[in-house]
């Protein structure tokens, strides 16, 4: 190649190089002379800085710097560094022609000839404003996220390394677990597990599940720094980089102790509400059944009583008749027990012979518990009378015996005992005086401390679902306390249970009804004279028996099959000395009839007969009440009492 050809090639290469540099728009590439004046200018420089080539050539490059950088002599420092070290690089704010700023990455390289003489500088500038803004935004976002994580106090949020060691710690973790960051960072997360869980390898299993599945969730007991336990809901997420390499785990823990307890309490409250509603439904159903059943028993007992009075003495027939009467009376007692169990009733306080009551129930109790258990009696021959409601006491005794049977699945002995006690009043918070203690003792499984503490809580039961309402002991406790006594339980796991009912002894001052009854018995029978009675009932069988009893007592009786017919009789067939009416009748109840009688015939006494154990809503509690089924003697007593003005 000749010298001329070589020169042309060199010029061609320079031209190509110039075209290459001029075509770059993402970088400002230009030359500075040794003093720092602009010697060349490409399209990228024009785009970044806004100067045309003719405007900037020959100008000092310091005009691109901010005033504060120029005061700090940063342009001079940059050239001096590049000249001394061959290269200078930094980032900072630069100024465009229009005065706006941009964040620039700047590289300055020295240009020297073959002899090392400085010819100038090559300067490359890149606009990093958007990237810097993005980085700043990311940093702000990370700071906000860090602040968010640190401000969360209801959750423990922290990181674990791939081996399960704590790498950071938020304020929620400190609040829930009790450790400060400097105390726990670097320690293994198994510190939070119970000893038994660590023995079973639960921490390692949990991490392995998160590592394999990407996420794992558990709920269980965890341990705080002070050793106390809390119920935790824990989620662990595996964190991996873009290549899938495990970087560690994100762990979220929440203390759900109170929430779980609240859910259990809510579930228990719902169950108690359900049991209460079920019991109320049973009570309403029992009330209706009892009324109809008592009407049937009324017809049976009344007819049998009349038959016994009119039938000639026959040794072969009288036992059969007496057996039928006792069977009907037992049916009436069963109805009372059903109502006492399912409905709240005012106590009918009476002196009760506990030995006689238990003896009378013995056959019934033994049949109730079956053949796997036997009942023994342990009572002295002489025992003071207890003051309580005998019907509800029978129900209580039945409940206690059945509970004792259930506590002896393999069989055993139930002992019903009684004794007298003298109470000073101070230790037991009872009135000083003499009490009778009725006890039921079994040889069964017994109760632990937790069960014993909750035994009398309403709706608490250790029996299976559908096998108990949990009301037995709470009803017994209510009976004893309403009677002025106390219930106590002695039990040891595996050694049986003894339940004691402490009931006050009875006297006539405590029993106004009994006192009145004795007074009535001592008084002359005012009702021996012939009365004109209006008998009202919608049930023909019951009405017939009531009429027969009254007529057998010597009274004149007029029948009425309901309230409206009774009012017609009062207007057209009177006068009457007495009205005896059923309560539960269609169109007009007995209480409503009594109110109409009081308005139209003041002074005319009314006796309310009812098959309910307690008067239904709307009944007049002031009316003399005759419970169904009633005998002729009970009818005679209340008629005598009402006519003499003692009721």
Residue 95 belongs to domain with CATH number? 3.30.450.20
pLDDT at 469 (0 to 100):
41
Contact predicate 36/62, CB 8 Å = yes
pLDDT for residue 527 is more than 50? no
CA atoms of 600 and 609, how far apart (whole Å): 21
Say yes or no: 519 and 639 in one domain.
Answer: yes
Distance separating alpha carbons of residues 479 and 504, to the nearest angstrom? 12
Residue 329 belongs to some domain of the structure = no
- Cα distance between residue 194 and residue 221, in whole Å: 7
Is 147 domain-assigned?
no
Label residue 523 by pLDDT band (50, 70, 90).
very low
pLDDT at position 463: 52
Strand order from edge to edge, sheet including 215-223? 155-160, 246-255, 229-240, 215-223
Looking at the fold, whether 496 and 373 belong to one and the same domain comes out as yes
In a domain, 241, yes or no: yes
Supply the pLDDT for residue 468: 45
Shared domain for 490 and 614, answered yes or no, is: no
Q: Is residue 307 part of a domain?
A: no
Is 372 part of a structural domain of the chain? yes
Same domain, 518 and 500: no
User: Please, are residues 339 and 290 in contact by the beta-carbon 8 Å criterion?
Assistant: yes
Helices (H), 343-486: 354-369, 390-406, 449-454, 472-482
Are 24 and 121 in the same domain?
yes
The CA distances from residue 248 to 214, 244, 382, in Å, are 11, 11, 82
- CATH number of the CATH domain containing 589: 3.40.50.2300
For 262, the token pair is: 């609240």
Q: How far is the C-alpha of 273 from the C-alpha of 263, rounded, in Å? A: 15
Q: What is the pLDDT of residue 310?
A: 77
DSSP 3-state of 502 = strand
Print the domain residue range for 77: 3-131
Q: Quick count: other Cβ atoms within 10 Å of Cβ 214?
A: 12
pLDDT at 34: 93
CA contacts within 13 A on the Cβ side of 473: 23
Last residue of a domain, one of 214, 234, 255: 255
Classify burial at 524, counting beta carbons within 10 Å of its beta carbon; exposed 0-12, middle 13-18, buried 19 or more.
exposed
Does one domain contain both 500 and 373?
Answer: yes
448, part of any domain: yes
pLDDT for 230: 93
Last residue of a domain, one of 486, 510, 534: 510
* Rg (the chain; Cα; Å): 51
Beta carbons of 302 and 324 less than 8 angstroms apart: no
Considering the domain architecture, whether residues 397 and 453 belong to the same structural domain is answered as yes
Q: Which of 480, 503, 485, 497 is nearest to 354 (CA)?
A: 503
Question: By the 8 A CB rule, do 231 and 219 touch?
Answer: yes
Residue 501's CATH number: 3.30.565.10
Percent of the chain with pLDDT over 70: 79
- Residue 552 within a domain: yes
| 3-class SS letters over 308-360 | HHHCCCCCCCHHHHHHHHHHHHHHHHHHHHHHHHHCCCCCCCEEECHHHHHHH
pLDDT at position 291: 65
In a domain, 616, yes or no: yes
Model pLDDT for residues 309-363, shown as the tens digit of each residue: 777 777 777 777 778 777 777 776 666 655 554 444 556 678 888 888 888 888 8
* Residue with token string 């000639």: 312
Pairing between β-strand 532-536 and β-strand 578-582 as defined by DSSP bridges: parallel
Kindly state the tokens that stand for 529. 């004279």
- Token look-up 């100008």 returns 59
Beta bridge partners, 160, equal 166, 249
Tally of residues, the chain: 647
Query: Tens digits of per-residue pLDDT, 458-512?
Result: 544 555 443 444 445 666 777 787 778 888 888 888 788 888 888 888 875 555 4
Pairwise CA distance, residues 19 & 9, whole Å: 15
From the DSSP assignment, how many helices (H) and strands (E) are in the chain? 21, 20
Q: If we measure between CA atoms, which residue out of 322, 388, 336 comes closest to residue 364?
A: 336
Angle at 566 between CA 562 and CA 568, to 5 degrees: 125
Q: Examine the domain organization and report whether 496 and 528 are in the same domain.
A: no
pLDDT score at 96: 92
Q: Are 532 and 538 in contact (CB under 8 A)?
A: no
Question: What is the number of structural domains in the chain?
Answer: 4
Q: Residue 521: what pLDDT? A: 39
Per-residue pLDDT at 518 = 38
How far is the C-alpha of 550 from the C-alpha of 632, rounded, in Å?
8
Structure confidence at residue 620 as a pLDDT band (50, 70, 90): low
Q: What is the average pLDDT score of the chain?
A: 80
- Same-domain pairing of 635 and 560: yes
Are 505 and 517 found together in one domain? Answer: no
Q: Do 517 and 494 sit in the same domain of this protein? A: no
Lowest mean pLDDT among 108-122, 133-147, 217-231: 133-147
Whether residues 411 and 547 share a domain: the answer is no
User: Model-level pTM greater than 0.75?
Assistant: no
DSSP 566-592: HHHHHHHS---SEEEEES--SSS-HHH
Pairing between β-strand 101-112 and β-strand 87-95 as defined by DSSP bridges: antiparallel
Q: Which of 457, 478, 510 lies at the terminal end of a domain, its last residue? A: 510
Please name which of 576, 590, 577 lies closest in space to residue 626, comparing C-alpha atoms. 590
Q: What is the pLDDT of residue 520?
A: 39
């Amino acid at each position: 190649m000749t010298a001329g050809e070589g020169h042309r090639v060199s010029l061609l290469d320079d031209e190509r190089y110039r075209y290459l540099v001029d075509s770059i728009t993402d970088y400002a590439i230009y030359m500075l002379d040794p003093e720092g004046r602009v010697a060349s200018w490409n399209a990228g420089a024009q785009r970044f800085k806004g100067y045309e080539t003719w405007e900037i050539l020959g100008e000092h490059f310091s005009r691109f710097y901010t005033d504060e950088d120029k005061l700090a002599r940063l342009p001079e420092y940059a050239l001096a560094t590049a000249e001394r070290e061959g290269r200078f690089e930094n980032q900072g704010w630069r100024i465009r022609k229009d005065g706006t700023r941009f964040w620039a990455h700047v590289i300055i390289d020295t240009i020297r000839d073959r002899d090392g003489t400085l010819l100038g500088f090559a300067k490359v500038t890149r606009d990093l404003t958007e990237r810097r803004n993005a980085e700043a935004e990311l940093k702000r976002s990370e700071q906000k996220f860090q602040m968010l994580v640190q401000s969360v106090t209801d959750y423990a949020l922290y990181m674990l390394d791939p081996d399960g060691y704590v790498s950071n710690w938020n304020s929620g973790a400190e609040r829930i677990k009790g450790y400060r960051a400097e105390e726990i960072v670097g320690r293994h997360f198994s510190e939070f597990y119970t000893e038994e869980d660590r023995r079973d390898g639960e921490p390692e299993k949990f991490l392995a599940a998160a590592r394999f599945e990407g996420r794992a969730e558990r709920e269980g007991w965890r341990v705080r720094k002070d050793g106390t336990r809390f119920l935790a809901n824990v989620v662990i997420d595996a964190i991996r980089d873009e290549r899938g390499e495990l970087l560690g785990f994100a762990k979220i823990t929440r203390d759900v102790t109170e929430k779980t307890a609240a859910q259990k309490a809510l579930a228990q409250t719902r169950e108690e509400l359900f049991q209460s509603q079920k019991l109320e439904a049973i009570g309403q159903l029992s009330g209706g059944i009892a009324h109809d059943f008592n009407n049937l028993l009324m017809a049976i007992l009344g007819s049998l009583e009349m038959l016994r009075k009119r039938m000639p003495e026959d040794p072969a027939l009288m036992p059969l008749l007496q057996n039928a009467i006792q069977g009907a009376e037992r049916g009436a007692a069963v109805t009372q027990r059903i109502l006492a169990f399912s409905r709240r009733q005012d106590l009918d306080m009476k002196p009760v012979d506990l030995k006689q009551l238990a003896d009378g129930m013995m056959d019934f109790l033994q049949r109730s518990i079956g053949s796997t258990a036997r009942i023994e009696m342990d009572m002295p021959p002489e025992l003071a009378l207890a003051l309580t409601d005998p019907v509800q006491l029978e129900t209580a005794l039945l409940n206690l015996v059945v509970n004792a049977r259930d506590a002896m699945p393999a069989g055993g002995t139930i002992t019903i005992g009684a004794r007298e006690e003298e109470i000073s009043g101070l230790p037991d918070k009872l009135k000083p005086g003499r009490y009778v203690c009725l006890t039921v003792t079994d040889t069964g499984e017994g109760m632990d401390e937790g069960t014993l503490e909750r035994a009398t809580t309403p709706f608490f039961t250790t029996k299976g679902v559908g096998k108990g309402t949990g009301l037995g002991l709470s009803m017994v406790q209510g009976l004893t306390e309403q009677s002025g006594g106390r219930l106590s339980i002695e039990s040891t796991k595996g050694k049986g249970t003894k339940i004691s009912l402490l009931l006050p002894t009875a006297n006539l001052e405590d029993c106004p009804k009994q006192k009145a009854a004795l007074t009535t018995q001592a008084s002359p029978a005012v009702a021996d004279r012939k009365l004109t009675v209006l008998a009202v009932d919608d049930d023909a069988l019951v009405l017939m028996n009531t009429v027969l009893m009254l007529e057998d007592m010597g009274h004149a009786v007029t029948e009425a099959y309901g309230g409206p017919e009774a009012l017609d009789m009062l207007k057209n067939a009177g006068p009457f000395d007495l009205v005896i009416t059923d309560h539960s009748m269609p169109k007009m109840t007995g209480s409503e009839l009594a109110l109409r009688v009081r308005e139209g015939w003041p002074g005319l006494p009314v006796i309310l007969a009812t098959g309910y154990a307690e008067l239904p809503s709307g009944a007049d509690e002031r009316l003399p009440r005759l419970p169904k089924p009633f005998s002729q003697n009970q009818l005679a007593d209340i008629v005598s009492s009402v006519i003499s003005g003692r009721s």
